[in-house]
Amino acid sequence: RPNELPGPFKWPIVGNLPQIAQVNWSRVWHAVDHYAKIYGEIYGMYFGPRYVVVLSDPKVVHELMKRDEWNGRPHDHMAKIKGDGAVLGIIMTDGDLWKETRRFSLRHLRDFGYGRSNMETSVMDEVQNVVDRLDKQIGNEEQVLSFESTFGPAVLSTLWNMVASIRTELDDPDILRLQRIVKETLQRRAFGAGIFWSFQSLRHLFPQGSGFAQQIEGFNILKENMRKVITEHKKTRVPGEPRDFIDAYLEEHENNPENPYFFVNRYSSVAPIVTPHALTETVTYKGYEIPKGALVFINTWGIHRNKDHWGDPDTFRPERFLDKNGKVVTNDEWLLPFGSGKRRCPGEPLAKTSVFLMVSNLLQKFSFSTVPGEPRPSPIPVIGLNLAPLTYRAESRKRKI
């Protein structure tokens, strides 16, 4: 195409998959960042037939993410399957439906405490549960503990209480099972992960090998669970007196029957998710023409590890976020874990409150260290739509106060 963005040489059919494989096939974001260093702040590459625009400069990201046309989503088959044939929810929709759903969800979640000061109290209750559990597990001695699914259910519980008025116990087997299914299902549809993401129609030929069959099974279990909770709400709700988000939604739906809100996606949104954007129309940017439908990756991995900006990105040095007067710098434009602009993560208040209260309270009471004689916890993440740590073990002891 004339005026095409710079990018690696495109092979017939497979596009840039050989170049991606050459850098790192299983950690695609390394390859994405590798070519950003060669082709600059905005470049294009082909995952098989899928054209992807990669943004690697925070200024460009902040600028473009304010614009509607850069904030679409790819209309993948999976989004439709989740919504029984229609693309629904917040994460995978775009246009008016997305705007309305996002506005509706945030407005009504706020009615039930989301982002308000009492949310902190609720998160603190959950943090206390984790502290109590560790306290019991550690006893009077130090213990080597395995950390997996330790924090997820605590964060989920706060959200679930606002959505469905259900408080979940930390070791509730149903919640742990659902959390595992969400994790496994998301891991199977990790973007950029493998040939099946690039050539989506191969799923019909290899339903098992592509993970397609397992994803459908996972989503069906989640939907089944949501349906049960919704049916229960329908039976017990009092019109005009919504107890939680589901009641508010049902009320809206009753008053506007043709209104297509739905929130099957809600469950999977509990995980931090970086989903590719898609261009809703053909755009010209700095003289380059970028076609409608092109996917957009925000190279946050590369931005967060940019040596020119951070100096020593791999060193744990939290004081880098303090200014000369010891105050926390909150507006570093190079730090965008929650994305930027119109689709910026709406879970940020809950995520930040949970991480702060969880980490500070645990470290106040306990100390954690590596286990002598065992390898350090692996820095290699498990890839879902987000990157999560593998299960790890840590020597855990109570602090002497």
337: its two tokens: 């874990």
Minimum distance, C-beta of residue 210 to ligand HEM, in the bound complex (Å): 24
Between strands 366-369 and 382-383, the pairing is unpaired
Q: Which of 339, 358, 383, 396 forms a contact with ligand HEM (CB under 6 A)?
A: 339
Q: Which of 16, 275, 306, 396 forms a contact with ligand HEM (CB under 6 A)?
A: 275
Residue 134 found at the interface with ligand HEM (CB under 6 A): no
- Give CA separation, 54 vs 34, 36, 42, 190, 283, in Å: 11, 8, 6, 17, 15
Minimum distance, C-beta of residue 356 to ligand HEM, in the bound complex (Å): 11
Backbone angles phi, psi at 192, to 5 degrees: 75, -10
Residue 338 found at the interface with ligand HEM (CB under 6 A): yes
Rank residues 17 and 383 by Cβ distance to ligand HEM and give the closer one. 383
Backbone angles phi, psi at 54, to 5 degrees: -110, 125
Q: Tell me the C-alpha distance between 345 and 338, whole Å.
A: 5
Which of the ranges 193-201, 318-326, 340-348, 358-366 carries the binding residues for ligand HEM, by CB under 6 A? 340-348
Query: 141, exposed or middle or buried, with CB in 10 Å at 0-12, 13-18, 19+?
Result: exposed
- The H or E element spanning position 163 is helix 152-164
Minimum distance, C-beta of residue 159 to ligand HEM, in the bound complex (Å): 5
Q: Which of 191, 173, 171, 347 is nearest to 270 (CA)?
A: 347
Which of the ranges 187-195, 203-211, 238-246, 347-355 carries the binding residues for ligand HEM, by CB under 6 A? 347-355
Partnered with residue 278 across adjacent β-strands are 72, 295
Minimum distance, C-beta of residue 239 to ligand HEM, in the bound complex (Å): 27
User: How many residues form the binding site for ligand HEM (CB under 6 A)?
Assistant: 22
Q: Which of 16, 269, 299, 306 forms a contact with ligand HEM (CB under 6 A)?
A: 269
Q: Tell me the C-alpha distance between 61 and 55, whole Å.
A: 6
Minimum distance, C-beta of residue 221 to ligand HEM, in the bound complex (Å): 20
Rank residues 77 and 352 by Cβ distance to ligand HEM and give the closer one. 352
Angle at 325 between CA 323 and CA 331, to 5 degrees: 35
Q: Which of 20, 170, 274, 383 forms a contact with ligand HEM (CB under 6 A)?
A: 274
Q: Which of 194, 291, 346, 377 forms a contact with ligand HEM (CB under 6 A)?
A: 346
Terminus-to-terminus CA distance in the chain, angstroms?
A: 67
Task: Let me know: does 174 contact 182? Beta carbons within 8 Å.
Answer: no
Rank residues 15 and 192 by Cβ distance to ligand HEM and give the closer one. 192
Q: Which of 138, 345, 371, 388 forms a contact with ligand HEM (CB under 6 A)?
A: 345
Rank residues 10 and 27 by Cβ distance to ligand HEM and give the closer one. 27
Rank residues 159 and 295 by Cβ distance to ligand HEM and give the closer one. 159
Residue 351 found at the interface with ligand HEM (CB under 6 A): yes
User: Which strands, in side-by-side order, build the sheet including 392-398?
Assistant: 143-147, 392-398, 366-369
Q: Which of 220, 258, 228 is nearest to 246 (CA)?
A: 228
Question: x/- string (CB under 6 A) for ligand HEM, residues 73-112?
Answer: -----------------xx----------x----------
Name 134's Cβ contacts closer than 8 Å, sequence gap at least 6.
145, 362, 365, 366, 396
Minimum distance, C-beta of residue 238 to ligand HEM, in the bound complex (Å): 26
Q: Which residues bind ligand HEM (CB under 6 A)?
A: 90-91, 102, 155, 159, 269-270, 272-275, 277, 337-339, 343-347, 350-351
